[in-house]
Amino acid sequence: MRSFRLFFIAAILLAGSLVSAQSKHQFTLGDKDFLLDGKPFQMISGELHYPRIPREAWRDRMKMAKAMGLNTIGTYVFWNLHEPQKGQFDFSGNNDIVEFIKIAREEGLWVILRPSPYVCAEWEFGGYPYWLENEDGLIVRSKNAQYLSEYESYIKELGKILSPYQVNHGGNILMVQIENEYGSYGADKEYLAINQKMFKDAGFDGLLYTCDPAADLVKGHLPGLLPAVNGLDDPAKVKELINQNHDGKGPYYIAEWYPAWFDWWGTKHHTVPADQYTGKLDSVLAAGISINMYMFHGGTTRGFMNGANYNDQAPYEPQISSYDYDAPLDEAGNPTPKFVAFRNVIQKHLSAGTNLPPVPPAKPTISIPKIELENVAGLNDLKPEGKSSESPLTFEDMKLDYGFMLYRTKIEGGKSGILKVKDLRDFAVVMINGKTIGNLDRRTGVDSINLKLPDGNVTLDILVENLGRINFGKYLLQNKKGIVGKVIFQNSEVKNWQNFPLPLKSLGHYAAKPDLVDLNAPVMKKGTFSLSAIGDTYLDMTDWGKGVVWINGHNLGRYWRTGPQQTLYVPREWLHNGKNEILVFEQLKPENKELSALNKPILDQLQ
């Protein structure tokens, strides 16, 4: 054991010295320009997020970044992925941020690192791990002692593995962002200063900066740090704003420049033609301003990792799984007309004789005509041991992070009336004696349903889905999931519940269950299909209801008839020549039996 530990320590020291063996650089603030080893350096950067891209494809996306003319990439770091349970850290597989940064270096790209515990990013709880909600009295994004203590242990862990990759240590991380658009949330400069100190103490000892939308920059910047601006692209205004908040000096950095926008369920797909942006990009680059486009490549928010917006003016808006963003690289990583247009603009600003790498061709796609599926597990097969309670328990009470919770109780039949679920978060299938009778949906405010109970003792089931914790605004602080209030029938509380968590994480090896026929309830289905040629493909869920799909063990994300997303992107990296397995958890249309896959996505169809 001891010799193993010594070996481990030696390996870490060796890794550290390999990093520092690379040449160290100085990245500093000039009056007008960023200075790399004393010479003006303009970052032409694009954002891409390691968890939104299969690890196997990280290098391909970076090559695309180079081919468009980017010299830098930006990424957030996602706390909920790296510390899924308190004190348990994970930097493996698709969470291997160090590898992501190393590949960027090998491909000749600098990195802007955004490891703020809060990231927004259309990500579950803005990147916060769900378990923070179980810490007594903890208040995120504040000086609250419990919060700062969890924050500190996380950022120290990050510092240990990432600080050696800063330029001043021989790596390729140019600078590091603290907090994220804090001015849109609060104005406490002491809190910001604590962020700065925590970062420094964790080893982030290079250049630090903040970023905020123009209207909130005064509140969100910390005197002494560079205030970058988001969403502003008029060069004169960018310079004026940064000058005003930085002792009359630059350098000038647009930390998020939006080539389009993200989507949420039930709302039209967002696109903006490239020609509305090329002139702006041209003038920003001509003015010597550094820029990070958010997103250069959005990719996919797989699993249950999407967030949601909610405020007093708008309904609850959970984001879709595709994070295509109408970005220069599409969801699958192929160049779009926007990519070509931006590349042409960037090329104009490179020094004479510099030629960009050729644009790699789009990847081959395949279609799959018909995959047959059979029922392999009903809710009773999927549910683990439950826990009883008088009133329903929340996800957090059950230490359930994401996915679904099944609530079950018995009530006396022979009655009818309204069943109301108070504070439903977020979507529910209601069943009587195992048969679906309707849905409840937080987005539309439908929290009640008319029940006509048969005689006798009746089983009432409510399957509740967490559609994504809020990732922006004051409702970050009210983010518990499941049935958060009470269930009322005929004006009195329904009590004595069994609570069954269904995280749908480690999926079983299901075999067909012929007795699961004519089911009228959510069900897990399985199919296999054989491929003789591999390529990217898009599962067509247009005729399905609502659910989640896994291929060869990879959770591809959610589908929902409502749209605008109707297909689920399947990366070629996760398909096999020969046999492949697909699992579909369908909540609304258990009678469906077949699927096909298309050679192009449908992201713009509301139904």
Q: By CB under 6 A, name the binding residues for ligand GLA.
A: 119-122, 180-181, 230, 256, 262
Residue with the two structure tokens 């989640």:
548
Residue 192 vs 548, nearer CB to ligand GLA: 192
CB of 287 to ligand GLA, least distance (A): 22
Residue 358 tokens read as: 């050729």
Residue 177 tokens read as: 């962002």
CB of 255 to ligand GLA, least distance (A): 8
CB of 89 to ligand GLA, least distance (A): 23
Q: How far apart are the first and last CA of the chain?
A: 60
| Amino acid identity for residue 62 in this structure | M
> From the candidates 181, 317, 396, 465, which is the catalytic residue?
181
Residue 226 vs 373, nearer CB to ligand GLA: 226
Residue 47 vs 396, nearer CB to ligand GLA: 47
Nearest to 270 by CA among 262, 259, 282, 278: 262
CB of 328 to ligand GLA, least distance (A): 15
How far is the C-alpha of 150 from the C-alpha of 146, rounded, in Å?
Answer: 6
Reported as type and span, the H/E element at residue 3 is helix 2-21
User: Would you say how long the chain is, in residues?
Assistant: 607
How many CB atoms lie under 10 A from the CB of residue 98? 16
Residue 227 tokens read as: 């205030």
Reported as type and span, the H/E element at residue 380 is helix 379-382
How many CB atoms lie under 10 A from the CB of residue 272? 13
Residue 288 vs 473, nearer CB to ligand GLA: 473
Residue with nearest beta carbon to ligand GLA: 120
Residue 164 vs 183, nearer CB to ligand GLA: 183
CB of 603 to ligand GLA, least distance (A): 16
CB of 212 to ligand GLA, least distance (A): 9
CB of 394 to ligand GLA, least distance (A): 26
Residue 14 vs 272, nearer CB to ligand GLA: 272
Reported as type and span, the H/E element at residue 555 is strand 554-560
Dihedrals phi, psi of 257, to nearest 5 degrees: -125, 120
Q: Give the count of alpha carbons within 13 A of 65, CB side only.
A: 34
CB of 405 to ligand GLA, least distance (A): 27
Residue with the two structure tokens 């579950």:
124
Residue 470 vs 583, nearer CB to ligand GLA: 470
* DSSP 8-class letter at 577: S
Complete DSSP assignment for 212-257: EEGGGHHHH--TTSEEEEES---HHHHHHHHHHTTTT----EEEEE
Output the CA torsion 321→117→327→65 (10° steps).
-120
Three-class DSSP labels, 480-511:
CCEECCCEEECCEECCCEEEEEECCCCCCCCC
Task: Estimate to the nearest angstrom the gap between the alpha carbon of 27 and the chain centroid.
Answer: 30
Residue 254 vs 379, nearer CB to ligand GLA: 254
* 3-class SS of residue 134: helix
Residue with the two structure tokens 């969470």:
95
Residue 362 tokens read as: 């789009």
CB of 121 to ligand GLA, least distance (A): 4
Q: Give the count of alpha carbons within 13 A of 443, CB side only.
A: 18
| Amino acid identity for residue 64 in this structure | M
Residue 220 vs 590, nearer CB to ligand GLA: 220
> From the candidates 107, 150, 256, 331, which is the catalytic residue?
256
256 labelled catalytic = yes
* Angle ∠(500,502,506) on CA atoms, nearest 5: 135
Residue 120 vs 207, nearer CB to ligand GLA: 120
CB of 40 to ligand GLA, least distance (A): 27
Cβ 192 vs Cβ 222: under 8 Å: yes
The set of catalytic residues is 181, 256
